[in-house]
Structure 1
């Protein structure tokens, strides 16, 4: 292949098409846990609701229910992915070898959104939420009450039921039930090490000792590849039935295709005899409504 502007432009378009076709075909997990919010500046500022309005019987004049709020900022970050294609591979018409690579780039670009959101789960026992406490904490406050969305118990049938009961018991500052964790979908999020345990609790119709499983489909299992190593025993419950979500995926820019391809002017071509292609985007993931998520370290301590 002759390296000129026309052929390089055509090659770039071909690589770009492979990347974005694979990205669009990817089936993400994060929309089950996070709301997508556009961003028009360096950061988004969320006026967080501390109490939710309740419907009441209209007697006399309306009663205005003020929405107390806190301001919570999530700042966008910049991400990139860059690959080098050897110049001689282009000259020798070997670019077909790169087609699977660029498809995989598209998959990894889409998967990164999942990684950001599931990392929020993994790090939620230490990273702060809008109230200045860890997202999963035993000392959140609603009005004058102290409320917990955290446990340290291992994943068992009894602990699964207790966690559901704990989250269902949360009320607002007036004592009215929030009504969370009653409607499906409810997600039981685990890593590979706990998949079999989760299946035994909510994924099979018949108990191992015989008889119907009363917890069958009480939650939908969501398997996360990022819950490994020290996070191996972690497990989570997420209420996926609400308009609100526990997390946010904030987008400043969508992935942009960038290239540094001219063999006449590119420093990389001159120094390394390669042509560079890549992606650039700005986004962030952050914590929102802790009342919709329960997390346990599974350590028992």
Structure 2
């Protein structure tokens, strides 16, 4: 095959189709727990999360809450994946394997947010959120009903396999996927490219800019205790009773029990079985959805 601009354009069109096929062929899971935040700059500020206002009776002038913008930042990161196609493979029409590779690049691009978002839960006892505390902490700062500083916990302790109870029913989510530039297929396939001249290789790749981070700790509870009906009940009660500043009830609806594969059977028994271990009616059936994801293991 004689390499011409038309040949290279046709090749790129085929690769683009393969990429889109791979990208659209999977269903990512990260949006179950992460709020997608479009970014238009290098760094996004999230200090305002500490000051989300409630609604109060309007007596006198409005009570304005000043929004802080300097306590929590997420800086976008750049990511890429690149493959090279030898000139000889194009000349010899030996390109079958490259279509498969580009299809896989599309799939990997679609699930890449999962790789970044889900491990945040497992790492939540170390990773800091907007208040400067670890996402799962026993002493998140809040104000009590009298406006005095106190603390609240979303960490049930323990030292075993971690599991998580989340409220994902709201527009805001426990985690954040901040996206600056969507992943797309790019190319360096002009005959005049230096790499083509020196190495006889055309290059194709994907790149994007994004970052994963912590959102509202109030919407999550983490535990390393053994997962049992009793510890599940403890986590659920902690979330139902959780309050914001000034003692305002948050009205949480814990609806997603996230577990690694090793705890899937236990989670399903707690939330789906008709009867408990003693044969009595299972009072926790249907109170949340058991959710298992392989991406927790990536932490």
**TM-score of the superposed pair, with normalisation by structure 2:** 0.68
Contact 1:50 1:70 in 2 (8 A): no
1:55 is displaced (CA, Å) by 3.2
1:196 aligned to 2:201?
no
Residues 37-60 of structure 1 deviation map (CA, whole Å, 9 limit, x = unaligned)? 1212211112323344333445x5
**Residue 17 of structure 1 pairs with residue 17 of structure 2:** yes
Greater relative contact order, per chain length (Cα 8 Å cut-off, separation 6+): 1
**Deviation at 1:211?**
4.3
Aligned residues: CA RMSD: 2.2
d(CA) in 1 for partners of 2:295, 2:132 = 25
Q: How does 1:141-180 map to 2 (within 5 A)?
A: 141-143=141-143, 144-151=149-156, 152=158, 153-180=225-252
Task: Give the number of equivalent residue pairs.
Answer: 226
Secondary structure in 1 matching 2:46: strand
Contact 2:44 2:75 in 1 (8 A): yes
The residue number in structure 2 matching 1:214 is 283
Tell me how far apart the structure 2 counterparts of residues 25 and 67 of structure 1 sit (CA, whole Å).
Answer: 45
**Deviation, structure 1 residue 204:** 3.0
- Equivalent residue, structure 2, for 1:49: 49
Q: Which residue in 2 is equivalent to 1:250?
A: none
Gaps of 5+ in 2: 144-148, 159-224
8 A contact 2:50–2:131 mirrored in 1: no
Structure 1's 130 and 216: CA in aligned 2 closer, same or farther, altered over 3 A?
same
Distance 1:206 1:118 in 2: 31
Cα separation, 1, equivalents of 2:84 and 2:281: 56
Q: With the length of structure 1 as denominator, give the TM-score of the two structures.
A: 0.68
Moved more, 25-34 or 73-82: 25-34
Q: Which runs of 5+ in 1 are unaligned?
A: 232-301
